Structure 1
Amino acid sequence: MRANRPGGPHWLREPSDPDALVTSLWSQTATKADGVLSVGGVSLPELVREHGSPAYVLDEADFRSRARAFRDAFGAYDVYYAGKAFLCTTVVRWLAEEGLSLDVCSGGELAVAERAGFPMERVGFHGNNKTVAELERAVELGVGRVIVDSFHEIERLASVTSERGRTVGVMVRVTAGVEAHTHEYIATAHEDQKFGFSIASGDALEAVRRVHAAPGLRLLGLHSHIGSQIFDTSGFEVAARRVLTLHAQVSEEVGVEMPEMDLGGGFGIAYTTQDDPSDPAQLATEITKIVQHECRALRVAEPRLSIEPGRAIVGPSMCTVYEVGTVKEVALDGGLVRTYVSVDGGMSDNIRTALYDADYSATIASRVSGSAPALARVVGKHCEAGDIVVKDEFLPGDVRPGDLVAVPGTGAYCRSMASNYNHALRPPVIGVRDGKTFTVLRRETEADLFATDVGVL
């Protein structure tokens, strides 16, 4: 329902049918009939009657399909699901069954993998400030690789492996100096940020030397991640060239041919109709050509490659359903009027609009409307002016309290970054499959809020 609009409401094109479903923004089983949105064969009004609102709705068939698509398209690669996008024991079980590996970046995420019984040799452990305790746990569990991010961490990890008489595979995260065309906070390969060792400064080569020299560390290769929500492969081309140049330099100067290389993730998804993501097969073809070309130019053997999709798998697999509480009209410049549609969630279940100025779409999910479309802003119930879920959208002009509003593309980072701001209770994640629902994460209760509040006995 959203038109291309790089600048604001004046870029929105009024849709001919605000009840229509733009299928490219939704999970593969989402349908709409007589104004009622269904996912996985379950109508959202029925789901809300059973589980309440707000609720995240996770389409199992869609998640599995996207995981398989990456696994099959990148058949010669190791595909690590980036757990930071969304992680729970159910999802980890699905990943294991679909043959993917898993990337974690904290002790808590590692604990989820352990609880789910995920094969530890298929786990990669990221993070720019892993504690000694986290490294000890990773080594004891036998994770397949640790991605080191600082000289201090190399020393810590070497000490841990030495004390335990163990060896662990290590990748060195490098910054390739690539300015990805994305938000400043999710661009991660330029020089002035916290991640990785700079190639340009020589730190990356020095890190490789130190890892190679440490008895308990098995040097696997280089790791590069240029950012998130990226729609073309030009940034990967520049990064691959610089990383492979270092790869060749290591072979020549250090005398070791590293067997692996990780190109990270960050593949974009469609949050609005202005987004045009590539499918996994296209990405695999383009990235493979880039690597093969650079390896031929440098006259080095192709390392075993890995990628880390997270958002591109779980992002479209989930939507969030809210109930409308209040509606008000606000006059804008130029005679325009915006309808503020307040729902029973907000920045506590989706901080991305406030944090990244992220764009989302929305649709009425509970009824058909014959009313003309009106410019709307979907906002939350929190005590913040920036508590916005969807900045600009055309919804039916008769939107009213009690309507259900659904927002697609909320699988990545929404539940992961959810909070108890204003003591809000985090919504449940409700799985849907073949016309049935199942609880993936239950709704929080007031008892959960007080579980850590020990001030009154």
Structure 2
Amino acid sequence: MPDDANDLAAEVWPASAARDADGTLILAGIRATDLAHTYGTPLLVLDEDEVRRRARTLRAAFDTAAAEHGTTVRVYYAGKAFLSTAVARWVVEEGLSVDVCTRGELEVALAAGVAPSSIGFHGNNKSVSELRRAVEVGVGTIIVDSAIEIERLAAITAPADAVQRVMVRVISGVHAETHDFLATAHEDQKFGFPLADAEAAVTRIREIPGLEFVGLHCHIGSQIFGVAGFRESASRLLELHAALLADGPVRQLNLGGGFGIAYTSADDPTPIAELAAGIVAAVAEGCAARGIPVPALSFEPGRAIVGTAGVTLYEVGTTKDVTVESGASRLYVSVDGGMSDNARPALYGAQFSARLASRTGVDAPRLSRVVGKHCESGDIVVDHEYLPGDVAPGDLLAVPATGAYCASLASNYNHVPRPPVIAVHGGKATVIVRGESIDDLLARDTGVHAEEPSEGAQ
């Protein structure tokens, strides 16, 4: 139980988050109540300065670490975390590249003016049309995920007289200490080549005139705290890296990322400078032990750039006391969104925080569960949180750290329109992704305007 159920834990909220004299939540100088009044709820608010600050911090930390060991580094923004043309422009202006994993994400990045040469294309099932488009526009690197994909690229590049740079994604066997569905480098999963098969894949790539092998890629998971997993994964990849040098250059090594953020005050993410220094040092030590040069490095921080920048605003609809098996009471707080705008609790059991945003509460903290409006018992936004006991219908509730994967995973379950995304900066708010309306939903239903059958028609 917190001492103050109105407190805003600094590590969970954007740096601009504060309360005004009336207790109203302020984001980038704008009252949450004003945002809700103008744009409605649910509403995803994205703090531009927070995104930019985190992008700069990551880039500077890895630049410093790489320079200390005589190499260079490239940092990729994860389009899957949240992608819009505005966000793509912000991160590119801060010196980042962009990774995408579908034709749709690629087209958003291109529409934002991202240089194709600074785009990495991921995915375990890239279609022929997606690969053709990537080669056509000159995507900087395609991360190859299967033997079939190698042959698809060979067939695409030959008639185009093109040379496409590729990396090979490798399963290192290192399992990050995270949710099973977030771990992407243990053996029994869909991404990449097992270590035992990767060398043959590289040999085949080197035989194809239209493909240029530039290095290895590995991603051990997501929402990771600490350096230990990266250190072990790097060691295993460097064994393969050193072996591949016998038959040609291996200029790059991408160790992925998935760096964790704080969703609640109990989370203690590893500082970025510590991560950067530790991971790059591990690579340098591994290279020295094998007598090979340190390659150019690249990383994909994931949610660490955009996650904390997002805050979702909801309106409370109903509250009710529910007695649990122990005889204790829990306050259920229902809001006007839910799993359609934040699927992560239902998918991963993800934990979030919540605070009153339209005022400060005056009653003692109550153990509460914030739930959505969908017809699912698993429609939980915040599984357990202490909220002021006087939370009531009409209050505005804010859930922080929703900048990553919430809008990206949003759906129209129960035919609920997806909410808008608003960027805030310097006291101004801008719509960067338009919210859906009921008309938008009906427009996709071809039966809405279908001709009525004539009388007597069978």
Pairing 1:94–2:90 present: yes
Partners of 1:283 and 1:432 in 2: CA distance: 29
After superposition, residues 57-456 of structure 1 pair within 5 angstroms as: 57-75=45-63, 76-199=72-195, 202-252=196-246, 255-456=247-448
Q: Which residue of 1 aligns with 2:24?
A: 36
Partners of 2:249 and 2:163 in 1: CA distance: 19
Q: Which residue of 1 aligns with 2:68?
A: none
Q: Which amino acid aligns with 2:2?
A: P
Question: Bigger shift: 188-197 or 202-211?
Answer: 202-211
Partners of 1:347 and 1:179 in 2: CA distance: 28
Partners of 1:104 and 1:358 in 2: CA distance: 24
CA deviation after TM superposition for structure 1 residue 326, in Å: 0.3
How well do the aligned residues superpose, as a CA RMSD in angstroms? 0.9
Whether the aligned pair in 2 keeps the contact of 1:342 and 1:381 (CA below 8 Å) is yes
CA deviation after TM superposition for structure 1 residue 54, in Å: 0.6
User: Which of the numbers 11, 16, 38 marks the counterpart of 2:3?
Assistant: 16
Q: Which residue of 1 aligns with 2:454?
A: none
Whether the aligned pair in 2 keeps the contact of 1:35 and 1:364 (CA below 8 Å) is no
Partners of 1:387 and 1:343 in 2: CA distance: 11
SS at match of 1:377: strand
Partners of 1:215 and 1:290 in 2: CA distance: 34
Whether the aligned pair in 2 keeps the contact of 1:371 and 1:397 (CA below 8 Å) is yes
SS at match of 1:53: coil
Cα offsets for 1:171-191 (capped at 9, x unmatched): 000000011100011100000
Q: Which residue of 2 aligns with 1:10?
A: none
- Structure 1 unmatched runs, 5+: 1-13
Cα offsets for 1:73-132 (capped at 9, x unmatched): 111310010110000111111122111100000000001011111100000000000000
Whether the aligned pair in 2 keeps the contact of 1:20 and 1:32 (CA below 8 Å) is no
CA deviation after TM superposition for structure 1 residue 370, in Å: 1.6
SS at match of 1:46: helix
Pairing 1:52–2:40 present: yes
Partners of 1:97 and 1:66 in 2: CA distance: 13
Partners of 1:429 and 1:114 in 2: CA distance: 20
Partners of 1:394 and 1:80 in 2: CA distance: 37
Q: Which residue of 1 aligns with 2:456?
A: none
Partners of 1:179 and 1:139 in 2: CA distance: 33
Cα offsets for 1:145-185 (capped at 9, x unmatched): 00000000000011101121101100000000011100011
Cα offsets for 1:321-358 (capped at 9, x unmatched): 10000000001133311000000000000000000000
Query: How many residues align structurally?
Result: 440
SS at match of 2:87: helix
- Structure 2 unmatched runs, 5+: 64-71, 451-458
Cα offsets for 1:374-431 (capped at 9, x unmatched): 0000000000000000000000001100001100100110000000000001011011
Whether the aligned pair in 1 keeps the contact of 2:214 and 2:249 (CA below 8 Å) is no
SS at match of 2:308: coil
CA deviation after TM superposition for structure 1 residue 239, in Å: 0.5
Q: Which amino acid aligns with 1:94?
A: W
Cα offsets for 1:290-312 (capped at 9, x unmatched): 00110011111111000011200
Q: Which residue of 2 aligns with 1:4?
A: none
SS at match of 2:142: strand
SS at match of 1:271: coil
SS at match of 1:312: helix
Whether the aligned pair in 1 keeps the contact of 2:33 and 2:358 (CA below 8 Å) is yes
Question: Bigger shift: 30-39 or 131-140?
Answer: 30-39
CA deviation after TM superposition for structure 1 residue 257, in Å: 2.3
Partners of 1:434 and 1:117 in 2: CA distance: 24
CA deviation after TM superposition for structure 1 residue 455, in Å: 2.7
Query: Structure 1 length as normaliser, TM-score?
Result: 0.95
Question: Bigger shift: 343-352 or 110-119?
Answer: 110-119
CA deviation after TM superposition for structure 1 residue 275, in Å: 1.2
Partners of 2:255 and 2:284 in 1: CA distance: 13
Query: Structure 2 length as normaliser, TM-score?
Result: 0.95
Partners of 1:369 and 1:114 in 2: CA distance: 46
Q: Which residue of 2 aligns with 1:6?
A: none
Q: Which residue of 1 aligns with 2:67?
A: none
